[in-house]
Structure 1
Amino acid sequence: VIAQVEQRRALVEERSRAISERQGEIAALEARILGAGGGGQIQAELDALALASGAMPVQGPGLVISLADRPGEPQAEEGGIDQGRIQSRDLFIVVNALWESGAEAIAINGQRLTVRSPIRFAGSAILVNFRPLTPPYEVSAIGDPARLPGRFAATLGASYLKSLSDNFGIVTSIEAAPELTLPGATRVNVDRARPLGGAS
């Protein structure tokens, strides 16, 4: 399993580099087109779309939620699952609670989330955007500093975090961050969308 994970990691990294290169080429072509004149409005629309889709790096205040496995040796419990290890569902619940609380952008260990980002459990690894991550897991969320912490505290996600800590020994923390920088997503594509209004 470890060999397969390492092989997949190398493949993902190779493809991520290729995606980054293509994104750079696209950005250069966009700059050339917009530099021809009259591109101010188009650029504003492109920036708004990139921000909404998660393709653009962003900065701002927010929250950092950290989750780490229970200290000590793994303990197989009923069903062969160690409840002291972070599961993909744990991250999924926290992320959904942050969106519900008004988060504008979220990343897990530097992997920017979009509406198409999978969070999966594969063997002993958690995959985000098909990339294996290792604990501790840092969920960084940008949002209104006056509202995001309080809204998150009132969600089931916050209660769930406390339950993980109290019942299973998982180490969690929630900290306000005055300035976060989240990267743009590398897997932003649309394969079923079409323009409205009958355009082709």
Structure 2
Amino acid sequence: MTAQSDGDRPAGSTPSTGLLTTLMTNTLDEDYQLVASRRAAVDAASPGRDERPGLWRHAGAIAAVTALGVLLGVSALKTSQDRPQALAERAGLIEAIQARQARLDGQHAGLASLQTDAGRLQADLADDVDTGSRLSADLARLGVSAGTVAATGPGMVLTLDDARHGAPGVGGVILDRDLQSLVNGLWIAGAEAIAVDGHRLTALTSIRFAGRAITVDYRSLTPPYVVEAIGDPDTLPSRLLETQGGQLWLGLRANFGITFDTQTQSSITLPGDAHDRLLWAEPAGSR
């Protein structure tokens, strides 16, 4: 066995050199061709095999669309069937609310009548006790201040309404705090008695939002709001505009188009508060 010299070794016989040469000279086209030829042979043996995946895909899409259509149809049918029932339930709720509101109004009217009778009896008793009627006059005056008895006198009427073209988010809607500021301004300006939409205001009256409505003593109001104030008609309007509440409403009218109309009247009658919850009070600084 004779040794072969380096000069007789074929080029590229070294393992590393042979691998690099193979990678440089042989591409992967032959492998791709081999795979393609095998796939062609399988397709030839199974005619129509290429069409089956496409058909299944189309069939799946059609089934999905059909199922979606069925679901939408069932939903629409259920909605149409439930709509009359929902409308009937809504009408029933509205009717019940109106009936209870009417009953509540009747109870308030009855309570006001009883309070009037009680006031008359109280005045008669005061006259019997005090022949000079001083006690009766004091009771009437304190009742007006407390808001428990009706009050009559000159004053002013204010009409408030949302902006005609105002949007709820840009200041065109009257808020509970706007009405609170106006009422506080009227008290500061010298009003002796105030009512909002016929509801007499007292030291215990609440003005707030409930849902999207302003409530006075938990009774919902709707615009336009009518505020009546008994006081000196010659000074009450001008003094109101000098208060913070009056200035606020001038700004609301100028900037947002909210209605703020005022007019004086020679005689205004305000009812007493039907909710007589005041149990004890004394003039400030009496102690």
Same fold (TM over 0.5): yes
Equivalent position of 1:198 in the other structure: none
- 5 Å-filtered alignment, 1:35-184, equals 38=130, 40-72=133-165, 75-77=167-169, 83-184=171-272
- How big is each residue's C-alpha offset from its partner over 1:49-75, in whole Å with a ceiling of 9 and x where there is no partner? 212211222222222221111114x63
- Asked whether the equivalents of residues 61 and 180 of structure 1 are also in contact (C-alpha less than 8 Å), the reply is yes
Identity of paired residues, percent? 36
- Asked whether the equivalents of residues 127 and 136 of structure 2 are also in contact (C-alpha less than 8 Å), the reply is no
Runs of 5+ consecutive residues of structure 1 not aligned to the other structure:
196-200
- Asked whether the equivalents of residues 127 and 135 of structure 2 are also in contact (C-alpha less than 8 Å), the reply is no
Q: Aligned to 1:23, what secondary structure does the other structure show? A: helix
- How big is each residue's C-alpha offset from its partner over 1:18-67, in whole Å with a ceiling of 9 and x where there is no partner? 42243144235436645756463432232122122112222222222211
Equivalent position of 1:19 in the other structure: 111
Runs of 5+ consecutive residues of structure 2 not aligned to the other structure:
1-89, 283-287
2:122 corresponds to 1:30: yes
1:75 aligned partner, one-letter code: A
2:119 aligned partner, one-letter code: A
1:169 aligned partner, one-letter code: G
- Looking at structure 2, the residues matched to 28 and 178 of structure 1 have their Cα atoms a distance apart, in angstroms, of 26
- Looking at structure 1, the residues matched to 233 and 124 of structure 2 have their Cα atoms a distance apart, in angstroms, of 38
- How big is each residue's C-alpha offset from its partner over 1:121-150, in whole Å with a ceiling of 9 and x where there is no partner? 111221112222221111111112232122
1:174 aligned partner, one-letter code: T
- How big is each residue's C-alpha offset from its partner over 1:55-112, in whole Å with a ceiling of 9 and x where there is no partner? 222222222221111114x6342xxxx6211111111001101111111111111111
Q: Aligned to 2:160, what secondary structure does the other structure show? A: strand
Q: Aligned to 1:90, what secondary structure does the other structure show? A: helix
CA RMSD after TM alignment? 2.8
- Looking at structure 2, the residues matched to 185 and 136 of structure 1 have their Cα atoms a distance apart, in angstroms, of 21
- Looking at structure 1, the residues matched to 241 and 251 of structure 2 have their Cα atoms a distance apart, in angstroms, of 13
Structure with the higher helix share, 1 or 2:
2
1:149 aligned partner, one-letter code: P
TM-score, reference length from structure 1 = 0.79
TM-score, reference length from structure 2 = 0.57
Q: Mark the CA change 1:165 to 1:34 in structure 2 (over 3 Å): closer, same or farther.
A: closer
1:117, distance to aligned residue in structure 2 (A): 1.0
* Structure of higher CA gyration radius: 2
Aligned residues: 189
